[in-house]
């Protein structure tokens, strides 16, 4: 409840009794033209369902009760409500007999409700909160029995018309199927959003008839009943007709999604965010971006993703529930539930799975997958590696083709790589295992035991060369021809010595020449 104010003759404010508000959202329809097993109001659009967008638009009203009329797919809609708006109360309309019947069903569940009743359709996702609050403010300040939100549209086909009298006042709202040719020419349409005096609405709902083309109880007929009873009814014009658009099929849904994308993108650009190609950039309404962030083309920012100041995301990047720190660069990457620290670098072609955490200036490069792991400050995993269930210390370097072997077929195990450690290329770290600070592993090793700080871990066999093997075992092949040609071109040794002399090669240090990439 919120107190209402009036002005005394001396100019001071007088606080009146608080006004009650009840919001009713109509979400019981099947949406047959969507041709979907999913109820229409649950179809997603940039971070929320259609129903979620409508509830968000009504949020600033701070209603005392929010009732959502459910019918088709009631269990699914009710479960969704519990997740996104636990205070909203589902009301079952077991038999859909029209919008008037739906509102009457809702109000019967709260017989004590009074004050203002706000009715919203569940499929108008572009509706702005300020439009809803403007409608209710106009209704309450005028002391009207009912107020309808209207819009001027170029093509009113399929929509209910606002029919005014010669004095410009509302006479009735006529559904298109029941409208005369003259009424169908009217371009002022009913947006399906209303504010009512609760007591007068209850009385009028009891008088509704189903004597119409659809055989349903139309909520819009309440306006005609109130006019006939001499009550004040009002029309509040929406500032932008686009926000009153609903959808009946997937084509219309896609059109609304594009409109919302453009609205969201324009809003971010006006706050100081650079979108290099807004037409291919999709940002959920739940995403947050700081000033001077840059989003390149073909990128999708979803869920609770946040992008810090001066960070660059994209092109060709999808971030879901991911945090990107200030000054970071994320290029051609797919990330879900990840944390990318300030000035970190990711991609191209990287995959960050849930609980992947990169500290400041960390690097995850090309064709690297990270899951449930922490990459320490300025540590590098440059390319072609899998990092799972690991902790990598600051300034460590992970060579190409390194695999953190974290799963033994039953449980996941953890690997720890210490500060400034150096993991050679093509190393398998078999968890649970720890490589100490400043330690090295030789390229091609399978590390199954801890490597102490500053030590070198080596598990590969010493190299042995079998001279002449190709000519003996692969005679007549391209390899043999190349070997013979190389022998002829070699100076000093005879052809027979070069191709047939047995020898064993390998230095005394089995790790000689080991390197890792950066």
Is 26 annotated to bind a ligand? Reply is yes
Is 372 annotated to bind a ligand? Reply is no
DSSP three-state, residue 479: helix
Is 229 annotated to bind a ligand? Reply is no
Is 248 annotated to bind a ligand? Reply is yes
Is 28 annotated to bind a ligand? Reply is yes
Look up tokens 């010669």; give the residue: 166
DSSP three-state, residue 346: strand
Is 175 annotated to bind a ligand? Reply is yes
Q: Are 218 and 212 in contact (CB under 8 A)?
A: yes
Is 123 annotated to bind a ligand? Reply is yes
Is 406 annotated to bind a ligand? Reply is yes
Q: Are 77 and 42 in contact (CB under 8 A)?
A: yes
Is 397 annotated to bind a ligand? Reply is yes
Alpha helices in 235-292 (DSSP H): 250-270
Q: What is the CA radius of gyration of the chain?
A: 34
Is 413 annotated to bind a ligand? Reply is no
Is 150 annotated to bind a ligand? Reply is no
Provide DSSP, 63-121.
-SEEEEEEBTBHHHHHHHHHHH-TT-EEEE-SS---HHHHHHHHHHT-TT--SEEEEEE
Q: Are 357 and 339 in contact (CB under 8 A)?
A: yes
Of 139, 236, 334, 383, catalytic: 383
Q: How far apart are CA 417 and CA 362, in angstroms?
A: 14
Is 27 annotated to bind a ligand? Reply is yes
Is 349 annotated to bind a ligand? Reply is no
Q: How far apart are CA 324 and CA 387, in angstroms?
A: 19
Is 400 annotated to bind a ligand? Reply is yes
Is 179 annotated to bind a ligand? Reply is no
Q: How far apart are CA 103 and CA 121, in angstroms?
A: 11
* Tokens (6 digits) for 355: 């609980």
* Tokens (6 digits) for 77: 């809609």
Mark whether 101 is an active-site residue.
Answer: no
Is 93 annotated to bind a ligand? Reply is yes
Strand partners, 312: 294, 329
Q: Measured between alpha carbons, how far is residue 52 from residues 120, 123, 178 in Å?
A: 12, 10, 32
Annotated binding site: 26-29, 40, 93, 98-99, 123, 160, 175, 190, 248, 353, 371, 386, 397, 400, 406-407, 443, 460
Annotated binding site for Mg(2+): 123, 248
| Catalytic positions | 383
Annotated binding site for UDP-N-acetyl-alpha-D-glucosamine: 26-29, 40, 93, 98-99, 160, 175, 190, 248, 353, 371, 386, 397
Annotated binding site for acetyl-CoA: 400, 406-407, 443, 460
């Amino acid at each position: 409840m919120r107190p209402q104010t009036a002005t005394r003759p001396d100019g001071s404010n007088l606080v009146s009794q608080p006004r009650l508000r009840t919001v009713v959202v109509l979400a019981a329809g099947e949406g047959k033209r969507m041709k979907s097993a999913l109820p229409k109001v649950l179809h997603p659009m940039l971070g929320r369902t259609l129903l979620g967008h409508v509830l968000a638009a009504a949020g600033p009203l701070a209603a005392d009760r929010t009732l959502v009329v459910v019918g088709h797919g009631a269990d699914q809609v009710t479960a969704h409500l519990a997740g996104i708006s636990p205070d909203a109360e589902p009301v079952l309309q077991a038999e859909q007999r029209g919008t008037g019947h739906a509102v009457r069903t809702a109000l019967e569940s709260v017989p004590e409700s009074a004050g203002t009743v706000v009715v919203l359709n569940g499929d108008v996702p572009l509706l702005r909160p300020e439009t809803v609050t403007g409608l209710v403010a106009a209704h309450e300040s005028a002391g009207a029995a009912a107020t309808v939100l209207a819009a001027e549209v170029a093509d009113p086909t399929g929509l209910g018309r606002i029919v005014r009298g010669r004095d410009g006042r509302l006479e009735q709202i006529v559904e298109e199927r029941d409208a005369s040719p003259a009424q169908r020419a009217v371009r002022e349409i009913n947006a399906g959003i209303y504010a009512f005096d609760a007591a007068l609405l209850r009385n009028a709902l009891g008088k509704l008839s189903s004597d119409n083309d659809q055989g349903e109880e139309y909520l819009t007929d309440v306006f005609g009943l109130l006019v006939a009873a001499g009550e004040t009814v009002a029309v509040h014009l929406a500032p932008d007709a686009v926000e009153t658009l609903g959808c009946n099929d997937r084509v219309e849904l896609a059109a609304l999604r594009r409109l919302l994308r453009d609205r969201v993108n324009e809003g971010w650009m006006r706050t100081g965010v650079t979108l290099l190609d807004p037409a291919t950039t999709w940002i959920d309404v739940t995403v947050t971006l700081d000033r001077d962030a840059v989003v390149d083309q073909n990128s999708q920012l979803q869920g609770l993703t946040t992008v810090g100041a001066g960070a660059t995301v994209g092109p060709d990047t999808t971030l879901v529930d991911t945090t990107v720190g200030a000054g970071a660069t994320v290029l051609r990457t797919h990330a879900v539930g990840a944390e990318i620290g300030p000035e970190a670098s990711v991609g191209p072609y990287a995959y960050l799975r849930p609980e992947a955490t990169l500290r400041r200036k960390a690097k995850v490069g090309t064709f690297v997958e990270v899951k449930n792991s922490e990459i320490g400050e300025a540590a590098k995993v440059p390319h072609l590696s899998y990092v799972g269930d690991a902790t990598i210390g600051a300034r460590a370097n992970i060579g190409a083709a390194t695999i953190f072997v974290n799963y033994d077929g039953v449980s996941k195990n953890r690997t720890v790589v210490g500060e400034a450690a150096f993991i050679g290329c093509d190393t398998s770290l078999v968890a649970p295992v720890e490589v100490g600070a400043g330690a090295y592993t030789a390229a091609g090793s399978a590390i199954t035991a801890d490597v102490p700080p500053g030590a070198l871990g080596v598990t590969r066999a010493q190299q042995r060369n079998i001279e002449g093997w190709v000519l003996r075992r692969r005679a007549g092949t391209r390899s043999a021809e190349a070997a013979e040609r190389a022998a002829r071109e070699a100076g000093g040794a005879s052809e027979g010595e070069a191709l047939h002399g047995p020898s064993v090669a390998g230095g005394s240090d089995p790790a000689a020449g080991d390197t890792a990439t950066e």
